[in-house]
Structures are given as C-alpha cells and as structure tokens.
Amino acid sequence: MNTPPVRKIIHCDCDCFYAAVEMRDDPSLRGRPLAVGGRPDQRGVVATCNYEARKYGLRSAMAMSQAIQRCPGLIVLPPAMEKYRAASRQILAIYRDYTELVEPLSLDEAYLDVTESGHFKGSGTLIAQDIRARIAATVGITASAGVAPNKFLAKIASDWNKPDGQYVIRPQEVDEFVARLPVDKLFGVGKVTAAKLNRLGAHTCADLRAWSIVDLQRHFGKFGGRLYGLSRGIDGREVSPSQERKSVSVEETYVTDLRDIDACQRELTPLIGLLAQRVRRVDAERFIHKLYVKIRFDDFRRTTAECVASAIDEAQCRKLLETGFQRGNRPVRLLGVGVRLNEDEDLSQLGLFVDEAVVATEEKGEGDAEKLANDAGFSHDAQVT
C-alpha cells in the first residue's frame, strides 16, 4: 500500500488588503493611520486598517466611532468594492498559475495545495516566495504566506511574520511547533474558551495533550474532539476549490452574559453593521433569501429565528431577536445575525468558501478578525450540526 505524499499547503493573505489598495492608489496615505469602513455617525465599523492605525489599538470590527476616539488623526475611507474586486481577480489569477487546487476564503486570502505542482521542483517555499513577489509587482501590494503540511498550520504560519513575510513549518517540525503554541492560537478558541482552558490548567497545546479526548469532550462538547486533534497538529481537511457559499453571518460570545432583551438589543446594532460589511465584501447582496438571528442562552440551549427577506433590515432583526429571546427568556451568552443565500441562484459566482460556519467576532486575527472563522468546523460557537 502506497503512503500518500505529505501535503504542501500554502495559505496566502494580503496585508491589510483594503487599506493596502488605497495606499497603492494614493501614496500620500502611506505612513498615516488609515481605516476603511463605515461612517462613525452611522454606526459604521472598521473593515480593515493599516499598521500605523493598529499601533493605536485599532482592529477590524471595531466601531468606527471608537476607532476615532483612540486615534484622533485617523483617516477614514469608505470601501471601494469594485476596486478591491479588480485586485482580487488579479491575485486569484496568480494563485491559479501554480495549482488548480485553490480555495478562496475572501477577496485576498486563499489556501493552495501545491503538493503536485511542477513549479520550482515542487518547493512550497519557493512557490510561496514567487507568488508574493508577483502580487507585489502586479497588484502593487504586499502579501504574507504560510507553508505547512495542512491548512490549520498554514494559516497559523501565514500570521507568523506579517506583514510582507513568510513562515514555513516542515513536517518534522510540526510536533515541537504545535506543542509550544498557546491555546488561544487555535482556531475557534477565543477569549471565553481560552479563559476556560486556562482555568482548567491548559495554557499551551502541550498542556492540552495531557487530556484524553473523553475529558475534552466532557468540558467542551463536540469541539473537544477538534481540540484534541489541533493540539497535535492534526487537520485532514482538503483544499476544496469547488465549495460554494450558503450563508454569511457574524456572532459574538460575551464574557459577561446579556441579562435581558434590552441588553441584547443594544448589542445587536454593531453585529448588524458588521454583517452588512461582510455581505458587501463577498458581493452577496443579490443572493439574500432569508434573515436570521441566533441566540445561545446561559444554559447552552440555542435557538434561531428567521424570516424570508431580500435585504438586511434592522427592524426585522430586532423582531427576530424578540421572538428568539422569548423562547428562553434567560441570560444570553452568544448572539449572532446572518443571511441565508438563495440556493436557486448560481452561487458559484461568489467564488468563495462555504460559509455554513459563522464569522465569530470573539475570535482574533491579524487585522481581519472577521475572517478567522471562515474555516467551517473551527469555530467553537459556530459548530455546524
């Protein structure tokens, strides 16, 4: 029986993509704090920001009004989606020069399986370097890359030397590399889950390895099995270029439970703003078929209220929230809002990864926090059942 080859997976991610395109087109913006997103007087949120802005603690999904308070000199630009899509098409064309196995996650981010690629004698390291050089020369922005035997590790590696960097995790380095990782580096482990793991004595993946899968599942349910594998660097998911997007959503797990419906309503507004940004980003407005609100109560029961809709409507979201809250009428630990896309339409036009999992704003990321939960199955609070 032949042993399958060790896979060579590259995760490519452009650095502060929207902001980078704006700075490319207007060099006077370079070196100045810049955010792309909604207007502060309309409850807008930061889509992304450059590294000068991040020095002030700015991040994706932050309310723009809060961003301006932290950085009074912040330059705010509205998203120019057509310009970003044009850059995205250039980037994806570059990716596909090296392999047909390209799984886009967003306009600027993708997994590539180059195991069978004939470029550079199959060197994942050299392929990633060449891709980054071509993006810089052709598109005029920088990209970072991670190279590893699986998607989980490639994603971690691409964040390691940002911006404009690259990191390689070779098969023989996986065990030692993962053992040292703090648990909050694992996909799906946000502030709430990390705090629980820390209280239980698990601070690194090496600590987690001392736990049996039964113990992990007892404390974390289905996600415990995922923790067991990730803490050992195991991820068997394939790079899947043909998957289609079925829904777009955002959610947040709260460190302190929301005590009543009024508290939930206050938290709903920024989530709706982030959802609208996300839907625009993937060009999904014309595919909206349903609107829904998801609630997980403090006893871990969850419910979803939905209705037919062709657009994001805040008033409808609030009615759905009231309907869902009445089903439990108790404190809420997780709140989410999303849209389902019309399956009768040609969703392949979106060209993006299936989004049955949600964008969990609990999770952290290098500037584009809303992208981190795109890998279905990696979000603890977004398990697909």
Q: Which residues fall within 8 angstroms of residue 18, CB to CB, at 6 or more apart?
A: 36, 47, 48, 79, 84
> Among this protein's residues, is 176 annotated catalytic?
no
CA atoms of 128 and 98, how far apart (whole Å): 10
**Distance between alpha carbon 23 and the CA centroid of its chain, in Å?**
23
Cis-peptide, bond into residue 171, ω within 30° of zero: no
Closest C-alpha to 250, from 361, 384, 340: 361
Of 22, 52, 103, 109, the active-site residue reads 109
**Distance between alpha carbon 125 and the CA centroid of its chain, in Å?**
24
CA atoms of 375 and 41, how far apart (whole Å): 33
DSSP 233-283: T---PPP-TT----EEEEEEEEEEEE-SHHHHHHHHHHHHHHHHHHHHHTT
Binding residues: 13, 108
Binding residues for Mg(2+): 13, 108
CA atoms of 118 and 31, how far apart (whole Å): 39
CA atoms of 224 and 239, how far apart (whole Å): 23
E strand or H helix that includes residue 17: helix 17-25
Query: How many other CB atoms are there within 10 angstroms of residue 309's CB atom?
Result: 17
DSSP class of residue 45?
B
The identity of residue 141, as a single letter, is I
Closest C-alpha to 332, from 285, 302, 297, 280: 297
Contact in structure between 90 and 139 (CB atoms under 8 Å): yes
Q: How many Å is the maximal CA-CA distance in the chain?
A: 64
CA atoms of 309 and 168, how far apart (whole Å): 45
Contact in structure between 338 and 320 (CB atoms under 8 Å): no
Contact in structure between 188 and 380 (CB atoms under 8 Å): yes
Active-site residue list: 109
